Amino acid sequence: MTKTIRRRQILKGSALTAAGLGLAPLMRPRKAAAAEPIKVGILHSLTGTIAIAEASVVDAEKLAIEEINGRGGVMGRKIEPITEDGASDWPTFAEKARKLLDRDGVACIFGCYTSASRKAVLPVMEKSKGLLYYPTYYEGLEQSPNIMYTAQEATQSVIAAVDWLAKNRGKTFFLIGSDYIWPRTTNKIAKPTIAKVGGKVVGEDYFPLGHIEFSSVINKIKASKAEVILSTVVGGSNVAFYKQLAAAGITGKSQALLALAVSEEELSGIGPENAAGFLSCMGYFQSVKEPANEKFVKAFKAKYGAKRVTGDTLECGYTSVYLWKLAAEKAGSFDVPKVVAASSELAWDAPEGKIKFHKSNHHLWKHARIGEFGKDGQVKILYESPLIEPNPFPKIL
């Protein structure tokens, strides 16, 4: 008896709640559009394993929003960020993206870090006609009408890196990476490029994420006499890798090491003394000499503390917000198709220098920069490429 009554009550209660939730947005009085802030979503991991890398991207995106609001917002409307935590869990990312689009009605989302999280969010964006700005360098092989990619795709860094290394450091390469899609795709692009510049791959090795035992592969690297080690090892494994390299006497002098996944930010975890002398290839370093960068670094440190450093993904997050603002202003609308259309060949003086969107493929024309890590954790830039055309679907694959 009591059981049925209870169930019925619960059913009734939940039906009412559901109706209430559904009606709530309709019942809210509409204010004049000019005064109402425009909502955007920020969707990164604030907890869980990837929070290490993503939490500071949120800082940069919030800084950009604050700056824009300080100067009157976008088309007279202030930006109101709604931050959601993807919790390093891919289904959570999809669920939160759905919430931001369907419940909050955000104009766009700045978010995702790993390719796995982006792939989880992609169908949601396409179904709900949302717009995602993705600020992480990645393997390419993707072009969604509902995603703008504001960091390097693989060809934009690896080809420049291989060319430069072959000219300046040597032509025998040892490829080492973590075992997932980004390092493997990157090396797939690297190998024909190495052949093209007359180089040779003398070894290739992959390790599970989080691996910390590199002594055997270091032994292999030594035996292979490779002049250049091209590393796509990511995350915490790098600490172990660099410490063990240093102990084995590989310090970047006799055998060069270029990392494609280590920015200034990761360096604080690795310990600058372990990486000094090694090379890095990125679209942006804190040491880039551009007036826009000086302003960016100063503002970032003023807001978050003098000890904080900027890095590639962080800068791309910051740039994303401005690119969205410019596109919306150019389109005169926050409508997703109009913003996307206005983004074609849209240019901006970013901290990394002048960049612009490709005519049609949603990626950016970007510089590749190669630099050497110093003991202070900063990068001395040795080479800066001209703007490189994005090519997310390279023929060599």
Partner 1 sequence: MTFDTIAMQVFNGLSLFTVLVLMALGLAIVFGLMGVINMAHGELMAMGAYATYATAALFERFFPSLMGIYFLVGIVVAFVVTFVFGYALERGLIRFLYKRPLDTMLATWGLGLILQQLFRSVFGPREVGVPTERWLEGAWHITGSISLPLGRIFIIGLTIVVSATVYLLLFRSRWGLRIRAVTQNRDMSGAAGINTARVDAVTFAFGCGLAGIAGSSFTMLASTGPTTGQQYVVDTFIVVVFGGVDSLLGTFLSAFLISQQQSGLELFLTGSMAKAAMLLMVIVVLYFRPNGLFAMRVRR
Binding site for partner 1 (CB under 8 A): 47, 49, 51-52, 55, 179, 204-208, 210-213, 215-217, 219-220, 222-223, 236-237, 239-240, 243-244, 246-249, 268-271, 273-274
Nearest CB to partner 1, comparing residues 189 and 275? 275
Write the DSSP assignment of 154-218 as a string of letters.
HHHHHHHHHHHHHHHT-SEEEEEEESSHHHHHHHHHHHHHHHHTT-EEEEEEEE-TT----HHHH
State which amino acid sits at residue 255: Q
Least Cβ distance, residue 371 to partner 1 (angstroms): 21
Nearest CB to partner 1, comparing residues 72 and 249? 249
Nearest CB to partner 1, comparing residues 107 and 175? 175
Residues constituting the chain: 397
Least Cβ distance, residue 307 to partner 1 (angstroms): 12
Write the DSSP assignment of 321-365 as a string of letters.
HHHHHHHHHHHTS--HHHHHHHHTT-EEEETTEEEEE-SSSSBEE
- Look at residues 156, 96, 147 and name the one whose alpha carbon lies nearest to residue 125: 147
Radius of gyration of the chain (CA): 23
Least Cβ distance, residue 188 to partner 1 (angstroms): 15
Nearest CB to partner 1, comparing residues 153 and 266? 266
Give residue 251's Cα distance to chain centre: 28
Q: Please work out, in degrees rounded to the nearest 5, the angle formed at the alpha carbon of residue 238 by the alpha carbons of 233 and 239.
A: 175
Residues linked to residue 347 through DSSP beta bridges, in sequence order: 356
Least Cβ distance, residue 207 to partner 1 (angstroms): 4
Nearest CB to partner 1, comparing residues 62 and 325? 62
Least Cβ distance, residue 363 to partner 1 (angstroms): 29
In the Cβ-directed half-sphere of 22, how many Cα atoms lie within 13 Å? 6
Nearest CB to partner 1, comparing residues 38 and 245? 245
- Look at residues 334, 385, 339, 332 and name the one whose alpha carbon lies nearest to residue 362: 339
Least Cβ distance, residue 49 to partner 1 (angstroms): 5
Least Cβ distance, residue 339 to partner 1 (angstroms): 32
Nearest CB to partner 1, comparing residues 286 and 343? 286
